[in-house]
A and B are shown apart, each in its own frame.
Chain A
Amino acid sequence: MGPHPDQQYFDALCKGDQALIREIYSKFSGSIRHWVQQNNGEAEDAQDLFQDALMAIYDRYCGREFQMTSSFGALLTTICRRKWYDRLAQIKREASVRNAEFERYEEETPEWEAATEALLQQKRQECLSKVFTMLSDQCQKLLSMITAGEKAIENIAAELGLANANAVYQSKHRCTSRWRQLFYEHFNEEAHG
């Protein structure tokens, strides 16, 4: 059995395929814009929402193994709606959201579960990004250089003023520990805040 036809959209996001990304917008942006405008939003809100939802799909699926459990459109729509409900709730306009529409959601649907995973992964990646900037410049450089894999460890050591490869690895572990500690502090804070 060949790949699901929607697989191309997931791949397009991962590769930044301009033509197929345009197709995603062409196919799904109208319905999302219409829905947002029906629920106290403007075209600009819909644009932000749509982009944010695509980034959530990117964070969940690109570079990771996954089993496609829902169509791309259903997943995108579910993420957009959930994000919009959250946003309205944050600005205390939840009463204006159509409750009947909300109730139509069945939390057991495959797209609901897939959306939950994507939203969680996006929050984690955004928190990792935020706290990464709180590391020292040395740590940021070191972790980036090691991940890029373009330079030999000895060269990284020389460039960062470290004694040898062993010192690079020790620093890497220290930086990773610090990064993890910051993540737990901030992620938990945001989750409960």
Chain B
Amino acid sequence: MDNTERIDRYLSGTMDAAEKQNFEAELENNAQLAEDLALQRDMAHFLSKRDSRSALKTQLNTIGSEYFLSQQAEPGKVVRMPLRRLLGIVAAAAAVVLLLVWQFWNGPSLYDTFAQHPPLALTEKSAGGTDWSITERAFKAQDYVSAEKQLLQYLELHPDDLQARLYLGICKMELNKTDEAKEIFLSFKDADASMRDFADWNLALNYLKAGQTASCREVLSRIEPTSSYFGSAKQLLNRLDK
């Protein structure tokens, strides 16, 4: 028996006292009902937290790069050593410092810092026996040439798949086909809020990549507080202002 409707009424507090008492008594003896109730609670949690979860992920991505990838190795213990060896190490250290300075000046660009794309998930929409996980893996491995090619094939079969189209735009952006990417991202202006927000964020990144900073700022400043990308947009704007 499908308990969805009853659980819904229980969770929304619309059961009368007698029905609620019966329901709770049934929960004691019906493991499946208890499991369904727990799941329906988790579903509600997922729906209510989806946007903030996604925003947090983006935020952690950005902060994490600063702390993990920019940190140097921890200093070791200081020990006394012969002068010749010390001089050798000083020379090596100088070379390391030079390398670090070089890395600093040639470090990740602002675009690379902010362009942390969430993984592509197409497999579950597969049809006709095609294994689209290859496309997902290509995207994850940043093999955008293969991912673009496969997404074009995918979109021939699923022309209405907005998410796939958006990821095609990301591939094009990564491959420096910024004009084509821009067209794709702009086509989302009438899409659902979550897709439009994702497209706008990528449109801003696309402008950043193309060196069109003013347009990038303009798109970023339009991103609303309700968007999952609001925090990231503010951070990027701050970095652009520095």
Question: Which of A's residues lie within 8 Å of B, judged by CB?
Answer: 13-14, 16, 18, 21-22, 25-26, 29-30, 33-34, 43-44, 46-47, 50-51, 54-55, 58-59, 62-64, 121, 124-125, 128-134, 141, 143-144, 147, 172-173, 176-177, 179-180, 183
Contacts and interface: CB of A to CB of B under 8 A. Distances in A.
Contacts, number: 109
Given A63-B48, A125-B45, A176 B61 contact: no
13 contacts: A14-B52, A34-B74, A43-B68, A50-B68, A125-B42, A125-B45, A125-B53, A129-B46, A131-B124, A133-B163, A134-B125, A147-B47, A173-B5
Interface of B: 2, 4-5, 8, 36, 39-40, 42-50, 52-53, 55-57, 59-61, 63-69, 71, 74, 121, 124-125, 163, 192, 194, 231
Please list the 10 inter-chain residue pairs (A to B) with the smallest Cβ-Cβ separation, ordered nearest first: A47-B68, A147-B47, A25-B67, A29-B67, A128-B46, A51-B60, A173-B4, A47-B64, A177-B4, A176-B4
Given A47-B65, A133-B125, 8 more contacts: A14-B52, A16-B59, A25-B64, A51-B57, A55-B53, A64-B45, A124-B42, A134-B125
Nearest to A128: B46
Contacts of A18: 59, 63, 231
A144 B47 contact: yes
B125 A58 contact: no
